[in-house]
Amino acid sequence: MAKGRARVASKPQRAAGFASLGGFGGRRQVVAVPELGEDRGERIAGHVDHRLRAVVEPVDGEDEREAEAGGHLARLQDDDQQHGARRRDGRGAHRIVTGRVPAEDAQPSAVASAVALVAGAAGMAMSLERETDAREAALADKVRAQADAMADAAWEKIEASEASAEAVRRDVAARGVARVNGVMREDTARATEAYVRETLRTNDAGGDGRNLSVESFGNVYCKKNRWDLKLAYDAPVRAALRECVASMGEALTAVCGADAKLVELAALVSDPGSTRQPVHPDTAYRRDPSVFTCFVALQDVERDMGPTLFIPGTNNAQAHVEFREGNEREGPVFRRPYELGVISRGDATLFDSRTLHCGTENDSSRRRVLFYFSFQRADGDNPNAAISTIRTELRDKYTLADLLA
């Protein structure tokens, strides 16, 4: 078949198995309640949909099973939209009533209104707190179900790719993740870790992960003792980013192109007592990869420090179908072998944002800090662009080529 051009397809064509560029959300957008949402990586992605509802014909060389799986994902997505509409419709709407208040009643009415507002605000705060607790309980139940489903799966430490840009590109394309050793010097890693610790301290980040500034923190799954800290482009951060990019320049260029945009710059901090996150992708499935993230260890990451868990080979439609059909709790995708990011200071994992992964529990007495950055391909479709973990002043400011210059 000749390479297809993007076009909107009819329902019969969708049913025939064309691949969908639409997704079902990895990150969730925070609207009023900071706790809404899931992860990015280990972070939360939002569920306000910036989804492209286009369907394209399979291109030359595309596996028929992959195309069929893509079509199935489109149908699952349609179901999600219908259920979401019913949930939205069930919430009802606020009604504003206007009218003239007699002058003699104005003062009592004002007092009554003030009392009602205070009581209403207190009631809303309690209601939101209950909703947050309920979400966290449901999330913990999901994590337990996933852990049970993965109990018999084989695992091993992630091994480094061959030392060539082409080998890294090949591993990321086929497996969804690659390990690259020695991308940051020890002194740079120590200086960056100290900067992250001090920034976290000055931001007065509480252990429960609630009521954090959206300018300084991203959203993250399982917030207790875990933070997604947006980094300012200060000297230690600038030095760390440029050093990593210089070390991985050829590989990054091979993976995402020199014109890729820097879309995330942050640190993931996991303290002792942080719990396992649910397995998730950082972005909704798209047939074409778009965003690539690099986690760099600022200290040695041992098995009990909550290393990132990756399920290799899940950056494709078939894996996402398995994930969704098991309600993200069970099924064959959870029986696949997985790998843990048990890596040394200065080593990195580079992964496709569609790859299924999660942060694991930190059962140690040590803090784990990952410096991370993400690049988006120039022609990529990123459903989470509006909520990527990067400070406002850095959005759309740098490309990979800029940082390599």
What is the pLDDT at residue 131?
Answer: 80
Write down the pLDDT at residue 347.
98
Element at 167 (helix H, strand E): helix 165-175
- 93 pLDDT more than 90: no
Confidence of residue 288 (pLDDT cuts 50, 70, 90): very high
Every domain of the chain and the residues it spans: 149-404
The 10s digit of each residue's pLDDT in 97-111 is 344 444 445 455 666
Residue 204, φ and ψ in degrees, nearest 5: 50, 50
Are residues 334 and 146 in contact, defined by beta-carbon separation less than 8 angstroms?
A: yes
- Yes or no: domain 149-404 corresponds to CATH 2.60.120.620: yes
HEC string for 27-66: ECCCCCCCCCCCECCCEEECCCCCCCCCEECCCCCCCHHH
User: Which of 31, 40, 1, 41 lies closest to 18 in space, CA to CA?
Assistant: 1
Residue 78, pLDDT > 70, answer no
For 118-159, write each residue's pLDDT tens digit. 666 666 666 767 887 888 899 999 999 999 999 999 999 999
Strands 338-340 and 155-157, bridge-based pairing: parallel
Average pLDDT, integer, range 64-76: 68
CA distance 143 to 306: 14
Residues pairing with 370 in the sheet: 268, 297
- Has residue 245 got a pLDDT over 50? yes
- Short-list 6, 25, 19, 7, CA closest to 75: 19
Q: What band does 383 get if pLDDT is binned at 50, 70 and 90?
A: confident
Give the pLDDT confidence of 19-61 residue by residue, as tens digits: 333 333 333 333 333 333 334 445 444 333 333 333 334 444 5
- Three-state SS sequence of 287-354: CCCCEEEEEEECCCCCCCECCEEECCCCCCHHHHHHHHHCCCCCCHHHHCCEEECCCCCCCEEEEECC
Query: pTM for the whole thing?
Result: 0.75
Q: Are 291 and 321 in contact (CB under 8 A)?
A: no
